[in-house]
Amino acid sequence: MKLSVDGTILLKLICLTFFVGVQSNDGETSKEWFKIEGKVQAPDAWARLNPDWKLHTYVLIDGGEYRAFLRDDASFSVSVPSGSYVVEVSNPTVFYEPVRVDINSKGKFRARRINHIQPSAVSQMTYPLKFKPGMPYRYFQQREQWRITDLLFSPMVLMMFLPLILIFILPKMMNDPETRKEMENIQMPKYEMPEMSEMLTSLFGGGDAKKTTKSSGSKGVVKRK
Partner 1 sequence: MKTYFSSLFIVFILIQAINGLYEDQIGKFDWRQQYIGKVSHAIFDSTGKKIVVGTEENVLALLHAGTGKIEWRHLLGNGPKSKISSLFVLNNGKVASISSSPTTVRVFDMSSGILQWEATVAKESQPIVSKWAASTRDIVLVEINPSKSGYELLLTEYSSNSGTENVSPTIELPWFTPGTDCQLVFPHLVCLHPHDDAVNVVDVTNSDSHQRIQFSDLGVAVGAGQSAVFSSVSRNLVSLRTTDTLSVYKVTDEGLQRIGAEWPSETVLVSVPSVKDAEAQQRYMSGLVKQEKDYLIRIYDLEADRMLEDVSGTVKLPEEVGEANLLSTFLMRKANGDLSYRYAIGTTDDSFHYGSKKEVYWSREESLTSIIQVEIVDLPVSSIEASIEEEFGSDQVLGGIFGHTIRRLSSQFRQLLIIAQQLMAGQINFVRRDAVGSNNRALERDRFGLHKLILIVTRPGKLFAMDTLSGRIVWQRLLKNVNTDKLRLYVQRTSIHYPLEPQCIILAKSSTSKQGILFVFHPITGEPGNFGSEGYVNLGFNVQQALLLPQNEETEYIKPLLLLDESAVPHVFPPTESALSHVVKMSDNLFVFVADTKSCVLRGYSLAKSTTDHLSSAPVWQLQLCSSNDVVEEEIVSIVSRHPEEKVFSQGRVLADRSVLYKYLNPNMVVVATAGTNHPHHRGYFNLYLIDVVSGAVVFSTSHRRVQSPYHVVYAENWIVYSYYNEKYRRTELSSLELFEGQTQSNSTAFSSFSAPQPLVDRQAYIYPAHITAMKDTFSEQGMTAKHILLGLSNGWIQEMPRVFLDPRRPVVAAATPEMREEGIMPYLPELPIPAEAIVNYNQTVFNIKKIHVTPSSLESTAMVFACGLDIFFTHVTPSRTFDVLNDDFEYGFIALVLTGLTLASFITKRLASKKSLRQAWK
Q: In the complex, which residues of this chain contact partner 1 (CB under 8 A)?
A: 22-23, 26, 29-33, 35, 52, 54-55, 58, 60, 62-67, 69-72, 77, 79, 84, 86, 88, 90, 92-93, 95, 100, 114, 116-117, 119, 137-143, 156-157, 159-160, 204-210, 213
CB of 131 to partner 1, least distance (A): 14
Q: In the complex with partner 1, which residue's Cβ is closer, 21 or 193?
A: 21
- Provide the b/e sequence for 107-131 (b: ≥16 CB within 10 Å): eebbbbeeeeeeeeebeebebebeb
CB of 187 to partner 1, least distance (A): 29
Residue 13: enclosing H or E segment and its boundaries? helix 2-27
Q: Which amino acid is at 197?
A: S
CB of 1 to partner 1, least distance (A): 27
Q: In the complex with partner 1, which residue's Cβ is closer, 45 or 159?
A: 159
- CA-to-CA distance for 2 and 5, rounded, in angstroms? 5
Q: In the complex with partner 1, which residue's Cβ is closer, 172 or 181?
A: 172
3-state secondary structure of 116: coil
Q: In the complex with partner 1, which residue's Cβ is closer, 188 or 203?
A: 203
CB of 11 to partner 1, least distance (A): 13
| CA–centroid distance for 222 within its chain | 62
Sheet holding 66-69, edge to edge: 66-69, 58-61, 83-90, 99-103, 109-113, 124-125
